[in-house]
Amino acid sequence: MNCSPLSFRQPAKFGTPNPASVRCLLSLLLLPWLAAAQQKVVWREDFESDWWWDNWFMEGGVWEVGKPTGGPKKAFSGQNCAVTGLAGKYPAKADARLGSVPFLVPAADQHPRFRFFHWYSIGRGDQGTVEVRVGQGAWKVVSQTNVWDGSGWGQGSVDLRAYAGQEVQVAFHFKASSPSEGPGWYVDDVAISTDVLPRLGDQTVAEGVLLAVPIIAKGSGWVFGLGQGAPEGAAIDPLFGLFTWVPSELQGPTTNSITVYVSTPNNPLERIDSATFTVVVNEVNAPPLVGSIGPKAIKADTLLRFPVTAIDPDWPTNRLVFTLDPGAPEGGAIDPTTGVFTWTPTAAQAATNHSITVRVTDNGTSGGGADPRSSVATFVALPKVTPTRLTAELTPESKVLVTVEDMIPGVDYALQISKDLIEWKALRTIRSETATFTHEDADIGSEPMRFYRLRIP
């Protein structure tokens, strides 16, 4: 492509661009954008070449380009920068604009941004603004600096997606409303660039599972952060850009919009670029928690009744249903809603041990689909052991009535006698279908004493 020599050679403080030079320069600016996929910088100005005159125009007689002797006393990079007075003072009531030639803003999906480094120290009430205009329209303020002192060189960034596909100009507009003078506003390394942060894909994660998303930014030296509204527990490593989050039980099922951004170390509050992605947290159904059940004593024809306790750890909680696993004794039952277990054992059932398993099942879901979970608790029902009592009573007829109480029906007992607690002999075997039995011992002879005992063979 051939271009005629650029004719914009106005003094650095004043001037408007020659239309021919603008047309040629626009062609030059379009070429880097066509190759944006490789270099990601549409246009850059560092004010080191004399050609900067052809890229900018000045109004108001304040802006200068060169090596600063006031303010920071040096450019951000190289030797030169644009400043409202190289000597370090701008005049009172200054009203000046440093503007670019027109350029075409890249497509919105490339995240076009106007970036620059600046240093400023201005009087109370003075103001520096970044402006954009479309075609020959009015200038619109898109960013401003109205604090009195910056904290060293910092990077500014203006999102240009609202102007995607349009021919625009950008400008630095400085206006002093106070009578005081100050070092001024210093600008360097201006660029139109795209895609510092990539477009981030949406994510899906289950409750309690670590989600790790590396955020890969173009360039280096960025500080990463999370935008407002990030869910509790989410974090991003400020140096390496690794986003991590383990959603809690209370955070699912939810859909979360998460914004990450990058800034510069010396100005972390000024965001250079941001990207937003969605994280869907799926519900994970956890099984119910069933309280332990200790051994239970049973007695024939006596009701056994107690509640089984269980909770659902999920949020929102699920409905719980109580059931008995196969093998439960006949007659045993559990209320499916309250978990109250009831059973009245028969004589035969009360004479043996029983292992009974209670199952608690929820109606929960996982990932949007039905996923019922259950837990069990097993307890043992044992025959109630009541101490068997043995008493002996001498009657007026010199007989001994031996009474046995609280016997286990159907169990054989051996009644034995002794006169010295050393030698024992069987008196009789007792097998009763009732809990009480009485034996009359009439053969006591002339023994001064007699002992009785009961044994289960």
Alpha carbons within 13 angstroms on the beta-carbon side of residue 342 total: 5
Domain containing 377 — which CATH number?
2.60.40.60
Do 169 and 73 share a structural domain? yes
**CA pair distance 120, 84, nearest whole angstrom:** 10
Q: How many other C-beta atoms are found inside a 10 Å radius of the C-beta of residue 165? A: 10
Last residue of a domain, one of 193, 211, 228: 193
Looking at the DSSP bridge assignments, the partners of residue 332 are none
Q: Which two tokens stand for residue 57?
A: 């125009």
**CA pair distance 401, 421, nearest whole angstrom:** 19
Q: How many other C-beta atoms are found inside a 10 Å radius of the C-beta of residue 386? A: 13
- Domain count of the chain? 4
Burial 286-296 (b: 16+ CB within 10 A, else e): bbbebeebeeb
Last residue of a domain, one of 383, 401, 433: 383
pLDDT digits (tens), the chain, 457 positions: 233 222 222 223 323 333 333 322 222 222 222 222 222 567 789 999 888 888 899 999 899 999 999 999 999 999 999 999 998 889 888 999 999 999 899 888 777 889 899 999 888 888 899 999 999 999 999 987 655 666 688 888 888 989 999 999 999 999 998 776 778 999 999 988 877 788 889 999 999 999 999 999 877 788 999 999 999 999 999 999 999 999 999 999 999 999 999 887 766 666 777 889 999 999 999 999 999 999 999 999 999 999 999 999 998 899 999 999 999 999 999 999 999 999 999 999 998 999 999 999 999 998 878 999 999 999 999 887 777 889 999 888 888 999 988 877 677 889 999 989 999 999 988 876 777 888 898 877 777 788 999 887 6
Structural domain boundaries enclosing 104: 19-193
Q: How many other C-beta atoms are found inside a 10 Å radius of the C-beta of residue 259? A: 16
For 279, counting Cβ atoms within 10 Å of its Cβ (0-12 exposed, 13-18 middle, 19+ buried), the class is buried
Do 162 and 44 share a structural domain? yes
Do 106 and 41 share a structural domain? yes
End-to-end CA distance of the chain: 118
Handedness of CA 105, 106, 110, 114 (dihedral sign): negative
Comparing CA positions, the residue from 95, 63, 94 lying closest to residue 80 is 63
Do 179 and 92 share a structural domain? yes
- Name residue, tokens 């989410």: 234
Do 393 and 263 share a structural domain? no
Do 278 and 264 meet the contact criterion of CB atoms below 8 Å apart?
A: no
**CA pair distance 33, 3, nearest whole angstrom:** 18
